[in-house]
Structure formats: C-alpha cells, structure tokens
Structure 1
Amino acid sequence: MRINGRERLRIVLGALAGVLLAAWASRTMAGSLGSAAWMVAPLGASAVLVFALPASPLAQPWSVIGGNTLSALVGIICVNLIGDPVPAAALAVGGAIVVMLSLRCLHPPGGAAALTAVLAQAADYRYALFPVLANSVLLIMAGLAYNSLTGRRYPHAQAKPVPGPRSRFTAADLDAALAHYNQVLDVSPDDLENLLHHAEMAAYRRSLGELRCRDIMTREPLSATQNMPLKEAWALMRQHRIKALPVIDQARGVVGIVTVADFMRQLEMDQPEGWGGRLRALIGLAPGGGGRPRVIAQIMTRHVRVVSASRYVIELIPLFADGGHHHIPVIDEERTLAGIITQTDLVKALSRAVGAGREA
C-alpha cells in the first residue's frame, strides 16, 4: 500500500508507544503477582494491526481482546488434554479459529497466542488472564488514546454510505457480490462501499474532468426575442421538436427562457377540460383569447441560469440532478448566447465517459 512518510511515522511511533506501555505496565504487574511470564510475542502482531490498520475489522478492541484471550484459553485446554505438543499445536490453532469465527472476534495473532500457549506448555488457566488478557487490554488502551490523538477513528465506527444520485450500484448489489465472493475480507462492507463510491466518482472526474461546456453544447441554438408572438414561438418549438427557447435581446444577451412548461402554466391545467381550445386561443389560432398573453416577454422565465462555455461539464451535474434544470443556455466571453445544454446532452456525455472508462 502506498502511504506518505507522515503516515508511516504515525504508525511506527504508535506501535512503539503501545508496546512500550504494555511491556512496562505488564512487567510491573508481574512483579506484584510473582509471575515469570509478563508478555506474549503475538502482541507484536496485534500492535501492527491496531496502529497500522485501525479501520480493519480484525483490529477492533473486541477482536484483539477476545481473539488473543480466547485463543490462549484454547491452547491451554489443548496442553491439559493432549500430551504430545505436535497434535496439540495443530488442534490449538484450528480450535482458536473456530472460536474466533463463532464469537466474531477473528484476530490473526490469536492463532499465534494459541500456539504460544502450547509451545510454552502453559497448563495454568491463569495464563489467559495474565499476561495475555492484560497485554491485550493495555495495548487497546494505548491504541484508543494514540489513534484518537493522531486523527484516526478507533474503534472504527461505521459511517453509513450515502451514494450519489448517479451511483450505478446499491448496498444490495454489494451484498450480493460479497456473498458470491464468500471470503473473509480485511475491510468492513460499509468501508468497502464508500471506497467504491469514491472510485466511481474519481472515474467520472477522470473521464469528464477536462470536458467543458463548449464540447457538448448544441451550437447556434434556436432562440426567441421578447417581442416574438407566442404563435410563432410555439410553431418553432413544434417544428424542431424542442422544449425550450432561450430569449435574447438585440445584443444576443440572454434575458430569459421560454419552455413548454411556461406555455402550460397559462392554460389553467387544474381544469383539464378544454385545455386544447385554451392552447389554441393562447397562441392565436382560435377566438376567445382576449386578455391572454400575446408575446414571449409575457410568459418567459426571466431568472434563467446560464453557464460559460469554458465551464467544466462535471460542475453541471448537481444543477441537472438536484437543481431542477432541464435546459441551460451557454454564453461566451462576450456574455452572448453561444449554445444550450440539455439533460440529453449531459446524459450522452456521461454515457461516453462511462464507455471510455470501461474500455480503459
């Protein structure tokens, strides 16, 4: 794994401080207890997990304390029941794994704790309490303090992933993949899901990162003036099968936008009966339109969101996904209409980005 020098130093100093605390306190306790053994070798492997991989499920407090102590207890049982250390060693390690899996405290140094008990011929059950349990608790205390002080959550609380609106997989999809994989992973499902979401967004940024609005916009879009009759604007939209017309002034500056929705708002859609006749009256194709709006300026949306042609496409995703926009006019350096981007244009760009990512 690639980590910077600062993180490497953090790990080294943490392991040094943790083992130093556990060794000093355990040796002091051993003197008062009259015990010859005051530290077990598997604690060194536990220290690597606690300080180098504090987010690992294998390094959490219950895994360290339960895994080491219960495994040592299994080793002691094997010493008392089996005279030959060869089968006792094998059964101790296998039995320790069974216990750790059953009690959800899998911890690799636990296997070493069970084996150490057999090799040391530790027949006294108090060996599991001291030094094994005492060593483990002291190491965890050091891990809690040090990891918190250096900005690492420990115990590692799982944050529920919040997938973006464009994510292509769900937690259920990940569960199905993990069930098919059917192996122990040294990462929690929540952390794995968050990692995959970040990777997915990084892929989008890589594919879309240099893509700008000018690259995907519809150039020289159809537009309307404020004085254009509604009949003419409606006919233009119908003829070209478009749902929006940017409204420009004499200098081609964008002053508004008119959409099919703006037409529909004039038709009192809460009264569905006869809306076709009201539409014809609105655009001047039928009598009875007295008092109705006649030109674009009377129905257009004046507060329109525009973007510059040099803006990155990735920045438009929240506008379309969360801002409720369907058509966004694009302006050039002179702030005149240069193009328009629709949801369809954005979807096509995303589709090309996804396709390019798969080919890569």
Structure 2
Amino acid sequence: MHEVLFVSQFSSQWLNTLKPNFKVLPFKERLLCGIGALLGLALSSLISWWVLGDLNAWYIAPMGASSVLLFAVPASPLAQPWNIVVGNSIAAMIGVTCALYMPNLTEAFSVAVALSIILMMSTDSLHPPSGAVAITAVLGGHSVHELGYQFVIYPVLLNSVLLLAIAIIYNRLLGKDYPQVAQVNTRTTDPTPTQRVTIQPQDIQDVLEQQTELLDVSEYDIQKLILAVQEKVNARANVPFTCQEIMSKDVIRLKQTDDIQVALNVFKHMNLMSLPVVNEQDELVGTLALYNVMEWLQRSIDLRGSWENQVKHIMQRQVVTVRPQQPIHDLIPYFVEKSFNYIPVVEGACLVGMVSRSDMIAVLNQHIIYLENKKH
C-alpha cells in the first residue's frame, strides 16, 4: 500500500514538472477567450469568403493558432499587431519563394520555417503561427502554388488584418488594453514616481539584455508586476490610518442642477481645479473639472451646445471613490501614479468627505517624523 502511494505521489510530482507555471483563469474568462476566438474566426472567415469568392485558398489554418494568441493571451509580445501582420507576411513570402525554387518539399518547408524564424526575430515580429503559414505556402497544394506571391496579399494578409481588427474590438469591449501601450507612464516618457525611487525601466532593460533566451512577457508587463508588488510591500510598511481619520468633512460641492456659470464662479473664488457633484439627496453623481468648463465655453458659440446650461450636462459621471474605513495606502497609487488631486469618500452613495493630496502628504510627513524620532 505504501509503495503504491509513493509511486502515485512520485507520478504526480513528475507530471507537475511538465506543466507550465501558468495562471489558470476563472471559467468566465476562459469562456470569453473561447467566444472571442469563435467570433474572430467566423467573422474573418465569412468576410474573406465574401471578398475572395470561389478562391480555394480563401482561408488558411494557421489563423486558428493566431486566434489563440489574440484572444487568450493578448498581453503576449507575440500577439501584438506588428507580429501577426509582419510575421505572417514574412513567412508567406519566404514560403512561396521556397516552394517556387526548391522542388523537394521536405527541404522547402524546412528551409522556409528556419528562414522565417531568423527574419521574424530580426524584425521583432516573431509570431509562432507564422511557422505554419510558411509550411502552408509549400504544402498548400495546387490552389496555393497557383497564386504565387499573391498568396502573401490574399489570403494571408487579408486574413491577418481581419482577425486582428476583430481582436482589437473584442478585447477593447472586455476592457483589455490591446494592443498594449508602450510604457506604464502614459503622461510622459519618464518613469512613474514609484519607479524613480525603486526599480526603474532602465534597470529592467539592463537585466533583459543579459538574457540569452526570449521571454514571452513584455517589459511593460514586468514593470506593471513590479509596481503592483511594490504597492503590497508599501502597504505593509504604511501607517494604519483610514480615510475617515484624515478626510475633510466640510466639502465644497456643486449640485448637478447648478448653472455652469455658478460653477465657474466657485472655481474662480476657491482656486480649485475640480469639484464633486451631488444630487438633491447629497449622493455623489459625478465630478466637474475646470477644463470641462473651459471646453463648454469653447462650445457655447456653437448652436449644438446651446442646450448645455447645468453642471449635469458637462460633468464626468465616472468617479473613483473610497469608503470611510478604507486604509489610506489604497489611495497611494491614485495620487502617485495617476496624479489625482483628491478622492471623494462615500458612505452608501452619499458624499461624506474628501481626501486630498495634501492630506496624504501631511500623514506621510508625520510618519517620517515618527521614524526619525524612533531612531534617536
């Protein structure tokens, strides 16, 4: 019995060594990935058929592999638009060339895949399904060989662009950043404030340059992960203040039915850049920034904008809020990375206070003084 148990445990451990260290997504996310691939392949296939008509090679199998990357792992560097379009085009061109000038099929598709890998890596357009595109160009039969270099334009480039367009729309609808932005700090090319005092992008680049293997993770994702880890580390070291302990309770606010001119006067006299907006029940319904008012002034000469006369017509309805009992370290990313000036504190839906950047600075200053005194 013990021998059977030992063998079972050994087999389980051995199997685990074969598995990738890969996060298993919740069922809902896995379902959405599958639905995305279904829609992407079906729609791009139908459009290709409609454009190309009776052409036998109106759709190619490697698009199925591309759909795995575009819909299941859109954050992968191998799934970016440049990779699918340029990678597939390079592979198709090399595959057609090898098919034309190398009569031995085994030699032709082997050389085609090898050259495709070298050129894709040289142009930073590596896309694994492109290897199958190169093989399809060689082994695709008479219908593909008859196309010659037209195979690069259609069906390869046409299929790639259609599938890519659907992937961009679908991922955006799900709230995913695809294609990925070039860097974490979207305001400037500088590192974020947290990065300046911890691990900077240049540090990551220096380490990646020493790697001899290609990692299927972007520098952008590494930066995001490090920032998220840094937030958790900071949370453990922070003072245990809650929002209700440092918030301002006497908050200047606008009513959603206030005239916009009234709001402009408030901004002028209070020297503020933005204000919370509430309804008659004092529930937070939005926020109004000074630039919203300035944009309204520019539109006021246009007859199409003449109906806008109340705060609710131009306010922003999406507002980041916190709860009174929420620890203040939850707010740090908004003030540091996103440059918020204040965050409303709500209980239920009612506005009960405001935590500003100056409130956070005061707390952090007090904490620094405490640590200095503790040293002495």
Q: Please give the TM-score of this superposition, normalised by the length of structure 1.
A: 0.58
Alignment check: 8 A CA contact 2:91 2:131 kept: yes
Residues 10-159 of structure 1: pairs in structure 2 closer than 5 A:
10-31=32-53, 34-121=54-141, 122-123=144-145, 124-159=148-183
Tell me what 1:235 maps to: none
Residues 183-198 of structure 1: pairs in structure 2 closer than 5 A:
183-198=213-228
Alignment check: 8 A CA contact 1:158 1:191 kept: no
Tell me what 1:164 maps to: 194
Looking at structure 2, the residues matched to 86 and 147 of structure 1 have their Cα atoms a distance apart, in angstroms, of 39
State the secondary structure of the residue aligned to 1:342. helix
Report the CA distance between 1:84 and its aligned residue. 0.7
RMSD: 3.3
In structure 2, relative to structure 1, the CA distance for the partners of 1:163 and 1:92 (3 Å cut) is farther
Q: Any idea what the Cα deviations from partners look like across 1:152-182, whole Å, max 9, x if unmatched?
A: 1222223334251785322221111111123
Alignment check: 8 A CA contact 2:195 2:227 kept: no
Structure 1's consecutive aligned runs of 4 or more residues displaced over 6 angstroms after TM superposition are 310-313, 315-321
Looking at structure 2, the residues matched to 313 and 40 of structure 1 have their Cα atoms a distance apart, in angstroms, of 54
State the secondary structure of the residue aligned to 2:180. coil
In structure 2, relative to structure 1, the CA distance for the partners of 1:171 and 1:53 (3 Å cut) is same
Opposite residue 186 of structure 1, the aligned amino acid is D
Q: Please give the TM-score of this superposition, normalised by the length of structure 2.
A: 0.56
Looking at structure 1, the residues matched to 24 and 176 of structure 2 have their Cα atoms a distance apart, in angstroms, of 17
Report the CA distance between 1:75 and its aligned residue. 0.6
Looking at structure 2, the residues matched to 27 and 311 of structure 1 have their Cα atoms a distance apart, in angstroms, of 55
Residues 201-350 of structure 1: pairs in structure 2 closer than 5 A:
201-205=231-235, 207-208=236-237, 322-323=361-362, 327=366, 341-343=370-372, 345=374
Alignment check: 8 A CA contact 1:212 1:311 kept: no
Alignment check: 8 A CA contact 2:195 2:201 kept: no
- Alignment: residue pair count: 237
Looking at structure 2, the residues matched to 111 and 165 of structure 1 have their Cα atoms a distance apart, in angstroms, of 38
In structure 2, relative to structure 1, the CA distance for the partners of 1:108 and 1:316 (3 Å cut) is closer
Q: Which moved more, 1:161-170 or 1:49-58?
A: 161-170
Looking at structure 2, the residues matched to 144 and 327 of structure 1 have their Cα atoms a distance apart, in angstroms, of 47
Looking at structure 2, the residues matched to 184 and 203 of structure 1 have their Cα atoms a distance apart, in angstroms, of 29
Opposite residue 200 of structure 1, the aligned amino acid is Q
Looking at structure 2, the residues matched to 316 and 344 of structure 1 have their Cα atoms a distance apart, in angstroms, of 26
Structure with bigger gyration radius? 1
State the secondary structure of the residue aligned to 2:59. coil
Tell me what 1:242 maps to: none
In structure 2, relative to structure 1, the CA distance for the partners of 1:169 and 1:321 (3 Å cut) is farther
Report the CA distance between 1:20 and its aligned residue. 0.3
Higher relative contact order (CA 8 A, sep 6+): 1
In structure 2, relative to structure 1, the CA distance for the partners of 1:198 and 1:80 (3 Å cut) is same
Looking at structure 1, the residues matched to 178 and 367 of structure 2 have their Cα atoms a distance apart, in angstroms, of 46
Q: Any idea what the Cα deviations from partners look like across 1:185-216, whole Å, max 9, x if unmatched?
A: 222212211211212322443x448x859xxx
Structure 2 residues not aligned, in runs of 5+: 1-22, 186-191, 242-324, 333-356
